[in-house]
Structure 1
Amino acid sequence: MKKIEVSLFFSMLLWLSTGISEDAIYTALFSNAAVGGYDPVTYFTQDSPAKGNQAYALEHEGATWYFISKENRRLFQSNPEKYAPQYGGYCAWAIAHDTTARGDPKQWTLYQGKLYLNYDAAIKKDWEQDKPRWIREADRNWPKVLQ
């Protein structure tokens, strides 16, 4: 039953997003914070997410990125492609299914040196069943999202 509900949910999202291009970086409706305000560098250096601090904010690709330290901000500035989540922080599983959904900074995976976010724990569980397949699909679909 859960798979049917998830399928219906994403079908509805697809229907609602048809013909609508998305911003390159996911931010919440009333916020301009990338990764929900979490420091993207901490996923790599601490192996867990940590909320960033306004004192170390940075504007990048139309979004505000927050960091826990000046050093993390510097690391990101020197190589944003390394630290930014794939698919602009949207749910990687949703992108693989040719739609968009928010990426939850607490539902994350580091895979082959890249950060992926998922919508929720159930979606993350499905994502983890076949990451290479979902990444291939998402890589193919991602350019269409930005059109």
Structure 2
Amino acid sequence: MMIRALLTSLLLLLPVSPALAQNWALDGMDPVSYGTDNAAVPGRSDLVTLWRGKAWHFASEQNRNLFEANPGAYAPGLGGLCVVALSEGRSEPGNPRYFVVIGQRTYFLRSERARARLLADPQQVLMRAKAFWARMNP
């Protein structure tokens, strides 16, 4: 029993392989914390659930339970792409560390500068981004 606990502890300290990390949703950030804490909070390696082929990490058991009850509500809007880039007619990945919560949805941006642009006119930027997104995903 003691050996098993020791081995488990050692496994948690090992670096994550690049192959596994590629399947991490949101670079390991907790998707629930964006709305509840208004922060990009790193998830724990021992609180994970699989959804849509990705490993989603959580900061607490409560957050994992909330996500598992309704994962679509916590997934980032517009596929996690940068809202400002989409509004300009480009598809660029958003960075899970730069985000804005509008309504009940979390949107990602590529940089702090893009975040400031979105916040300057959220309704207009989001409207243009959604229109471009709809053309990309008929």
TM-score by length of 1: 0.72
- Of 123, 127, 131 in structure 1, the residue corresponding to residue 118 of structure 2 is 127
Q: 1:145, 1:45 → 2: CA distance?
A: 30
- Shift in Å at residue 143 of structure 1? 3.4
Aligned to 2:77: 86
| SS across alignment from 2:47 | strand
Aligned to 1:23: none
Q: 2:81, 2:111 → 1: CA distance?
A: 12
| SS across alignment from 2:72 | helix
Larger Rg: 2
- Shift in Å at residue 62 of structure 1? 2.5
Structure 2 counterparts to residues 17-96 of structure 1, below 5 A = 31-96=22-87
Q: Show CA shifts across 1:37-75 (max 9, x none).
A: 100101112221111122111221222211112221110
Aligned to 1:10: none
Runs (4+) of structure 1 moved beyond 2 Å? 143-147
Q: 1:86, 1:128 → 2: CA distance?
A: 16
Q: How many residues align?
A: 118
Q: Which residues of structure 1 form unaligned runs of 5+?
A: 1-29
Q: Could you tell me the percent identity over the aligned residues?
A: 27
RMSD: 1.7
The answer to whether the aligner puts 1:100 opposite 2:91 as a matched pair is yes
- Shift in Å at residue 98 of structure 1? 2.3
Q: 1:107, 1:132 → 2: CA distance?
A: 18
- Shift in Å at residue 146 of structure 1? 4.3
Higher RCO (Cα < 8 Å, 6 or more apart): 1
| SS across alignment from 1:57 | strand
Q: Which residues of structure 2 form unaligned runs of 5+?
A: 1-20
Contact 1:99 1:145 in 2 (8 A): no
